[in-house]
Amino acid sequence: DQQVKQNSPSLSVQEGRISILNCDYTNSMFDYFLWYKKYPAEGPTFLISISSIKDKNEDGRFTVFLNKSAKHLSLHIVPSQPGDSAVYFCAASSSNTDKLIFGTGTRLQVFP
Amino acid sequence: EAQVTQNPRYLITVTGKKLTVTCSQNMNHEYMSWYRQDPGLGLRQIYYSMNVEVTDKGDVPEGYKVSRKEKRNFPLILESPSPNQTSLYFCASSLSMASSDTQYFGPGTRLTVL
């Protein structure tokens, strides 16, 4: 039972355009959400997070949007750069357990 | 440099031959955990440790053991590896278990069990 789902295994975007990565969750107890980025042969690295008390968090080119009623979050990257090509994992946790549940990942390719 | 290290990075072994994957962090983190990454399944937690001598099962603990005798080290032990344990393994550490504390991941260990 996948509590955190990333339904798009891959996404291809032209350099300079916006990349939108999506994530859906089923557990209404989740109250903290994160995005991690993973390059080949490296471990995941933290990118950006959002608490359920907010609906948007921005950090430079990266913005995460949270829609609690739809149990949906998205990561926007604008403008996309070739160096953004990586696998992106969304993750969620609840303050009850603090246990991180990861999605299956989306492979983003940014082409020139 | 603050980091999480894992060894070995690559390992090919045979069914039933005991192996240990080491994990070490130099950030004085209390919380450490092990994940495995499999296609279509994402990252799943195997075991975690909130502090020295405190370990607990994650979502997929069967076939694995861990120990936390020192704060910096958190080895993953496969007593009798089987082919379904072929996977990419990541160790991670953070200040505490709170999800607001960033988890730092090691570079991964690719294990193949024949």
Order of strands, sheet of A72-77, starting from the edge strand that comes earlier in the sequence:
A4-5, A19-25, A72-77, A62-67, A56-59
User: A80: how many CB neighbours lie within 10 A of its CB?
Assistant: 23
CA dist., res. A87 & res. A106, Å (int)? 5
Tell me how far CA of residue B112 lies from CA of A38, A87, B89, in angstroms: 21, 22, 11
Q: For residue A40, is pLDDT > 80?
A: yes
Nearest to A19 by CA among A81, A90, A77: A77
Per-residue pLDDT tens for B54-79? 999 999 999 999 999 999 999 999 99
- Nearest CA of chain B to the CA of A75: how many Å? 17
Nearest to A32 by CA among A50, A48, A47: A50
pLDDT digits (tens, 9 = 90+) for B11-44: 999 999 999 999 999 999 999 999 999 998 999 9
pLDDT at residue A97 tops 80: no
Does the distance separating the beta carbons of A100 and B4 come in below 8 Å?
A: no
Q: How far is A105 from chain B (nearest CA, A)?
A: 6
